[in-house]
Structure 1
Amino acid sequence: MSRATTWGGVRRRRLWTEIAIVLGVSLGASAVYSIVNIISRLTIDTPLADQSATINGSLSDREWLDLTYQLLAIFFDLVPVALVLYLLAISGGNPFRRIGFDVQKPASDLGRGLLLVLAIGVPGIAFYFVGRALGFTVDVVPAPLDTYWWTTPILILAALRAALQEEVIVIGYLFTRLRQLGWHKWQIILSAAVLRGSYHLYQGVGPFFGNVVLGVVFGWCYWRWGRVMPLVVAHWIIDIASFVGYAWAVSTFPSLF
């Protein structure tokens, strides 16, 4: 066996180890918990349609502590994003330019992001209500925070956290590493899409398939554009509409909730 072959094998093992560690401290762990969660949901007498899932819940009944915990949670959830950018940096090149996570093309990124919102966000909301009607999606409560002066800014930050976590890690980082491992286009796109769906399983079977479809579209767009920024823009806008829009609806029309 040649030295080059031996080094190639060592490099592949290191990349797989790195991927396992990154996913283990971020969305891979979320996927495992979600799988266990959906098993739990499906093995009790209560139908999925009568169950609920809470996002952005209050972390304390005291306002200042709730705000503190919310900010800390957002900060530490973004540490894996910093980690993958660091790992990409030490493996060569500018990590921001490498995955298109920069402001070099603001107009193009914004336009493409808005296009994705229309193409994926609006049908995604419709798919959620179809899933609720058919009984395979739980009642997702995206913003049950008490209404304080800081509620809307925190929900916007929470939406940004989700956008950065999912698009930078699952698309920018994972696509880069799987390419280096020799995976082909659709192997990468479909694998990342299934991962995306898996960590949404706690919301029910419907959101799993909905997010797999979203992941395929986002993955294809990233492969074509070579930029993660439009995906971050689209994801952020969609989640702001879900989080802040829900909070606004609850405060404006409390009798409906």
Structure 2
Amino acid sequence: MVSAAESAPTWPTPESSEQVRRAIKLEVAVVLAITFGLSGANAALSLLESALSPGGVGGQTVALNPSRAAQSTIDLLFQLLGVARLLGWAALGLYLLWRSGIAPRAIGLVRRLRRRADIMPGLLLAAVIGIPGLGLYLTAHALGVSVTIVPSSLEHWWRLPVLVLSAWANSAAEEVLVVAYLITRLRALGWSENRSLLASALLRGSYHLYQGLGGGLGNIVMGLIFGRYWQRTNRLWPLLLAHALIDTVAYVGYTFLRGHVSWLP
């Protein structure tokens, strides 16, 4: 016969701090491997390929939102799948933080946006990053250290709403994962605020290297500014709004200005 002590359920013992650290390291490695870490490796290879190609980096063209199919409906579905993938990445980061006891509110995703605390700072950040960023791109392109960026090559009737959706999806994935999720996890591992900030900014720069060195450096600066703002305010909505606005202006603005202004490559 089996005794009562032997048949009683066994409960897991509390994890040690070292076990928790190992679990967090493994989690971060897996998340980066399937999201922006892998994107960074691809972007670095793209930059190397561009540098070795005839004409160098300056002779290459990269489309950010290319058409994926000749059929309009199929192309639309491909675009929406891309949006869903990015939103899924953001949801993954939020879910993993929630599972560890960190609710969205704790990283600055409050339900109600405030004009002074969220909207106005978002507009200011968009201007601070977007305007110099355009100047940096044009300068880098003129110097031949940046590829020619085509924000959109879509021609279908649905292109404008899809471009806006894409801008918001990019914003959600990057700001949730690269800022809120990564810095929070690195804090849990005992990293300093400066070291965590630098890691976040370098990751952001890495997956933009396909744009050339100018794009990579510009996004490192963006990462430093965005990450520090979040560290000091713990409000994520301004970053989401700023990033979405920058991308929306770039995508939609290019659609209307292409072929009508001489300064746009």
Structure 1 partner of 2:39: 30
From 98, 110, 115, the equivalent of 2:119 is 110
Deviations 1:166-213 (A, max 9, x none): 100000100110011000011011111011000000010111110001
Partner SS for 1:149: coil
- Which of the numbers 157, 182, 198 marks the counterpart of 1:190? 198
Matched, 1:39 2:48: yes
- The whole-number CA distance in structure 1 between the counterparts of 2:61 and 2:89 is 28
Fraction of identical pairs, as percent? 38
Residue 127 of structure 1 aligns with which residue?
Answer: 136
Q: TM-score, normalised by structure 2?
A: 0.90
Q: For residues 145-184 of structure 1, what are the structure 2 equivalents within 5 Å?
A: 145-146=154-155, 148-184=156-192
CA RMSD of aligned residues (A): 1.8
What stretches of structure 2 of length at least 5 have no aligned partner? 1-12
Letter in 2 for 1:163: S
In structure 2, distance between residues paired with 1:248 and 1:68? 23
Measured after TM superposition, the shift of residue 254 of structure 1 is 9.3
Amino acid at match of 2:207: Y
Equivalent position to 1:253, from 256, 260, 264: 260
Does the CA-based 8 Å contact 2:86-2:172 persist in structure 1? no
Equivalent of 1:62 in 71, 91, 94: 71
Question: Under a length normalisation based on structure 1, what TM-score does the superposition of the two structures give?
Answer: 0.93
Number of the residue aligned with 2:150: 141
Specify the SS of the correspondent of 1:189.
Answer: helix
- Runs of 4+ in structure 1 deviating by more than 3 angstroms, as ranges, are 252-257
The answer on 1:227 being equivalent to 2:235 is yes
Residue type of the alignment partner of 1:88: L
Larger helix fraction of residues: 1
Q: Which structure 1 residue ranges, 5 or more long, are not aligned?
A: none
Aligned residues: 251
Structure with the greater alpha carbon radius of gyration:
2
The 8 Å contact of residues 47 and 57 in structure 2, kept in 1 or not, is answered as no
What displacement does 1:84 show?
1.1
